[in-house]
Amino acid sequence: MTQLILEQALNGLQFGLMLFLLAAGLTLVFGIMDMINLAHGSLYMVGAYLAAAAVAASGSFVVGVLLAVAGTAVLGALLEMTVLRRLYTRDHLSQVLATFALILIANEAVRMVWGDQPALLNPPDALSGPVELGGFSYPAFRLLIIAVGTVVALLLYWVVACTRVGMWVRAGASNREMTEALGINVKRLFTLVFAAGAGLCALAGAMLGPLLAVQVGMGESILILAFVVIVIGGIGSIRGALVGSLLVGVVDTLGRALLPWLLRSFLPGEVAANLGPALAAILIYLLMAAVLFWRPAGLFPARG
Amino acid sequence: MGGALYRQSAQRRWAALALLAGLTVLPLLLQAVGHEFYVSFVSRLLIFALAATSLNFVVGFGGMIAFGHAAFFGAGAYTVAILMENGISSALVAWPLAIAVAALLALGIGLVSLRTRGVYFIMITLAFAQMIYYLFISLKAWGGDDGLSLASRSTLGSLPLSNDAVFYWVVLACLAATLLLLDRITHARFGRVLQAIRENESRMEALGYPVHSYKLLCFVIGGALAGLAGALIANHGQLASPSLLQWTQSGTLLVMVIVGGVGALYGGVVGAATLLLLEEVLSHFTHHWHAALGLALLFVVFRAPHGIAPWFHRRFSRSKKNEAPRE
């Protein structure tokens, strides 16, 4: 039993760290520009497809992933400069409409280039097996995801919390006009943030690609989770995004594994079999509703 | 000025009546030219028009950007399907119950959600809709992923609803009644207060209006009407599918409202018609019609920012003389 819990906790950590890569970009976009970007999930999808193509072409997982991250970052910067930049001053409804349109276009573009079939993205051969981990075996590739996720999360945290660029970003998130008045080029800063966010999306897409399927529509399902994360954490806060991601990742994964089993211990079998998965699936939304109910601005509000 | 306004509203009433008359004879016309199968398509269009109109009441008149309207739409559909499964097929029982269930759901969700505002309101309504969605796909007793199919359409007195044309007229009657109701509401005291709250909430609060109750009632009315649309869509395809509850459905309805015109009485109708007709036409021309639809939506965002209905309206009024300038 403890083994199962430990394994599921590791899975939750791994999923949470990947969610953080997605949520980090989204929360900054949201926080600095007050912009709802539904198309964030499309960048994740495009990143995964680019990774699949680049890995197949180069034969190396590492090279493929790096190429995909760079390619998606460039794409993100282009997207920001051509379309999204014109939406910052518009209301939320226009932003929802425009980025919804971008999702449709991105999905169709991927279909045109790569077809309807899911793309194949395999983990590197060296990491395809399990490793012994003090009594139980755990897939090596998942460990790699945890390692990469931790390193990137720490790096990002360091950049945002300890460097000058990070200071500008935080300043932009808490008060954009004041930051501009102090002579920071928020416009250029934002293109940079957006490109970085797109790159992180691609990294998450490439790392999760071998576990989940690389297919059209993969962005939409995870986008909602990323939104849940940033709302729980507080929009615009990197620390909130990190805490929110880990919370959502662990609660979701552990809930799915343990809840049906827990219910079975005090409910009749049939009811538990029905209720367990249902309750597990809505657990994170309950969490979000509860957070919003008691702390309507999230756990770590960025704007004070 | 007052005369012009009166003339305009009289004109609009005539236009609406003419449109209603045209839509009433449409099935006969389609039958005459041998294109009956379009009757079913137009029924679907009208049902979505009803759903979008109900959302537009919440978004456009109540000023609440709700991103979970699919929950009420789907709840209406599932209520009809579940009742049918248990042997209750009368529309006179099932449809009002669908409306009631959706209204109750909206009351519960609204009570919690209205504590938040702005982006957080968008997100919490989305969260609740997702809960409902996952609840339904994991309940195997109610069809799970496959949805719940209806053995037949509801029975409504001696009306043969299984006939597509008859069903179409019932749908049209529901939509017309809803539009009439909303037109009355928005011109009544309640509607005026609601729109004032949308414009300046704190001022209305300072004037002593129970702002929260007004918004909640608006949210519930919107939910209830979406429940009616859900009851109709379940009858239309004889299926209550979980895809009705999905967040993309909420997104589509919201897109219809924005495209049609937020806060315009006919915004939902125009938006639903535009979107579904575009879909139908584009899919004839190209396999990749989603991309074309996306480009069309981008056009709306950048060229007709207030939606198509006001855009037409402006075009229409600009050509007339002696019109007070609009902003």
pLDDT of residue B3: 53
pLDDT number for residue A30: 82
Number of helices and strands in chain B (H, E): 13, 2
Residue B326: predicted pLDDT: 42
The SS3 assignment for B155 reads strand
Interface of A with B in 202-231 (CB under 8 A): 220, 224, 227-228, 231
Residue A69, token pair as written in the block: 């991250």
Q: What is the pLDDT of residue B308?
A: 75
Q: What is d(CA B287, CA B295) in angstroms, rounded to the nearest whole number? A: 15
Give chain B's largest Cα–Cα span.
64
Q: Which residue has the higher pLDDT, A132 or A154?
A: A154
For residue B275, tell me if it sits in a domain.
yes
* Entry field: residues in chain A: 304
Structural domain spans, chain A:
2-215
Q: Is the ipTM of this complex over 0.90?
A: no
Residue B190: is its pLDDT beyond 60? yes
Sign of the Cα pseudo-torsion (B198, B69, B284, A118, in order): positive
pLDDT digits (tens, 9 = 90+) for A77-134: 999 999 888 888 888 888 888 998 999 899 999 999 998 888 888 888 777 778 877 7
Tell me how far the alpha carbon of residue A28 is from its chain's centroid: 12
Give percent of chain A with pLDDT exceeding 70: 99
Residue B327 lies in a domain: no
Closest CA to A217 of A295, A121, A104: A104
At B318, the pLDDT band (50, 70, 90 cuts) reads low
> 3-class SS at A133?
strand
- Dihedral sign for Cα atoms in the order B38, B40, B41, B46: positive
Q: Tell me whether residue B26 is in a domain.
A: yes
pLDDT at position B194 over 80: yes
B325 confidence band (pLDDT: 50, 70, 90) = very low
Average pLDDT, chain A: 86
Assess contact for A142 and A14: CB atoms under 8 A. Answer: yes
Specify if B225 maps to a domain: yes
pLDDT tier, B207 (very low <50, low <70, confident <90, very high otherwise): very high
**Residue A82 Cα, gap to closest chain B Cα (Å):** 12
Hey, is A214 helix, strand or coil?
strand
- Per CB-CB distance under 8 Å, the chain A contacts of B65 are 92-93, 96
Q: How far is A76 from chain B (nearest CA, A)?
A: 18
State residue B321's pLDDT score.
42
The shortest CB-CB distance from A224 to any of B118, B247, B288 is to: B247
Q: How many CB atoms lie within 10 A of CB A137?
A: 11
What count of other Cβ atoms lies within 10 Å of the Cβ of residue B203? Answer: 12
Rounded to a whole number of angstroms, the distance from the CA of A128 to the nearest CA of chain B is 32
* Whether residue B250 has pLDDT greater than 80: yes
Write down the pLDDT at residue B75. 95
Query: Of A16-20, A153-157, A296-300, B272-276, which gets the smallest average pLDDT?
Result: A296-300
Q: Which two tokens stand for residue A199?
A: 């790159």
Tally of structural domains, chain B: 1
Domain holding B64, by residue range, is: 2-318
Q: What is the number of H-type helices and E-type strands within chain A?
A: 11, 2
pLDDT at B324: 42
Mean pLDDT of B98-109: 96
Q: Report pLDDT for B322.
A: 43
* Residues in chain B whose Cβ is within 8 Å of chain A: 59, 65, 67, 112, 115-116, 118-120, 122-124, 126-128, 130-131, 134-135, 137-141, 247-248, 251, 254-255, 258-259, 262, 288, 290-291, 293-298, 300-302, 305
Over residues A45-51, mean pLDDT: 94
Average of per-residue pLDDT across B108-132: 87
pLDDT of residue B185 exceeding 90 = yes
**Mean pLDDT of all residues in B240-253:** 90
Radius of gyration of chain B (CA): 20
Q: Which of B121, B125, B134, B198 to probe the A interface (max A CBs under 10 A)?
A: B134
Contacts of A17 (CB under 8 A, 6+ apart): A145, A146, A149, A150, A153, A245, A246, A249
Cβ separation B138–A281 shorter than 8 A: yes
Whole-number pLDDT of residue B323: 42
CB contact under 8 A, A38 and B251: yes
Using one digit for the tens of pLDDT, what is the confidence trace for A170-200?
A: 888 777 888 889 888 888 888 998 999 999 9
Average pLDDT of chain B?
Answer: 87
CB distance B94 to B83 below 8 Å: yes
End-to-end, the C-alpha distance of chain A in Å comes to 44
Over range B264-279, report the average pLDDT: 91
Residues A91, A35: Cα–Cα separation, whole Å: 9
Residue A52 has pLDDT above 70, yes or no: yes
* Amino acid in position B107: L
Which residue does chain A place closest to B249, by CA atoms?
A100
A292 — pLDDT class (breaks 50, 70, 90): confident
CA separation for the pair A171, A36 (Å, rounded) = 19
pLDDT in tens, A235-247: 888 889 999 999 9
Q: State the average pLDDT over residues B236-260.
A: 90
Residue B171 pLDDT > 60, yes or no? yes
Average pLDDT over every residue of B211-219: 95
Q: Do B258 and A93 touch (CB under 8 A)?
A: yes
- Name which of A105, A278, A293 is nearest B291 (Cβ-Cβ): A105
Distance CA A52, CA A67 (A): 10
A287 reaches B (C-beta below 8 A): no
